[in-house]
Amino acid sequence: MNEAKVSIMRSEPAVSSEVKFEEFKVPVVEGMVVLDAVHYIQNNIDTTIGVRWNCKAARCGSCAAEINGSPRLMCKTRMEDAGPEVQIKPMRAFPVVKDLVTDLSHGYEVAKKIPPFTPRPEMKSPYKIQQIDITRSKEFRLCIECFLCMDVCHVIREHHSDYFGPKHVVKIAALDLHPADSVDRSELLHNEGGLGYCDITKCCQEVCPEGIRITDNAIIPEKERIVDHVYDPIGRLIRAARRRKW
């Protein structure tokens, strides 16, 4: 492949309601990724294309978009895999700011509601933690906050519910699995967080660029914790007497 047709969805809602696709011809070299193609267009054809990126190394999560209909990182998607005709759209679950740049501020508002790590008073730093506890929560700390799991979640896309969304369940699971943490976040996730809206379709898990098993290891265990903590008053009393979360 020497040349690809790259079609980019263009819009800027603050200026106009017009939404259109613009097509560009981009020379393709070996190893090129979709973000390189967007940069080529910006540098050589149209400097006004809005795109957010930082690391170009699949670490910052900024370049999330929908490539040929699939939520992907532009810097992790090779042009040879995307094919000779590449369509790039902004993430559909979030309001567009300009072209491929979306407004993620709702996600940051949700993040503020999640109580941070709060060690039990009897735990003294440095904490002595079993390797098994580190291994269990390590997966969740791989999250690069790309919001691709949020983008693909039909509850967030279609229903505009109060569901916090899979990215935030991953964050809560990481905190909940810390053996020194003392906060019970089950009621928050059950009530304000709307975890009951999630019907375990696993779409979020399929698109995570870090391979985090979002549904299997974060969402389902958090749903099980809610059953124990919210619907089992005797268990709640026992945990309160032991001054332990679990």
Contacts (Cβ under 8 Å, ≥6 apart) of 160: none
| Options 47-55, 78-86, 164-172, 191-199: segment touching ligand FES (CB under 6 A) | 47-55
Of 1, 29, 45, 200, the one binding ligand SF4 (CB under 6 A) is: 200
Tokens at 187, concatenated: 């009621």
Q: What secondary structure does DSSP assign to 165-225, as a single string?
A: -HHHHHHHHHHHT-TTB----HHHHHTTT-GGG-----HHHHH-TT---IIIIIIHHHHHH
Of 19, 55, 134, 200, the one binding ligand FES (CB under 6 A) is: 55
| Options 49-57, 161-169, 175-183, 229-237: segment touching ligand FES (CB under 6 A) | 49-57
Identify which of residues 54 and 161 has a Cβ nearer to ligand FES in the complex: 54
List the single partner that 4 binds among ligand SF4, ligand FES, none, CB under 5 to 8 Å by kind: none
In which residue are the tokens 């070996």 written?
30
Identify which of residues 61 and 165 has a Cβ nearer to ligand FES in the complex: 61
Q: Rounded to whole angstroms, how far apart are CA atoms 165 and 88?
A: 24
The answer to whether 78 contacts ligand FES (rule: CB under 6 A) is no
**Residue whose C-alpha is closest to residue 156's, from 101, 210, 92, 112:** 92
The contact set with ligand SF4 (CB under 6 A) reads: 61, 143-149, 152-153, 155, 166-167, 170, 198-204, 208-210, 212, 214-215, 219
Contact residues for ligand FES (CB under 6 A)? Answer: 53-56, 58-63, 73, 75
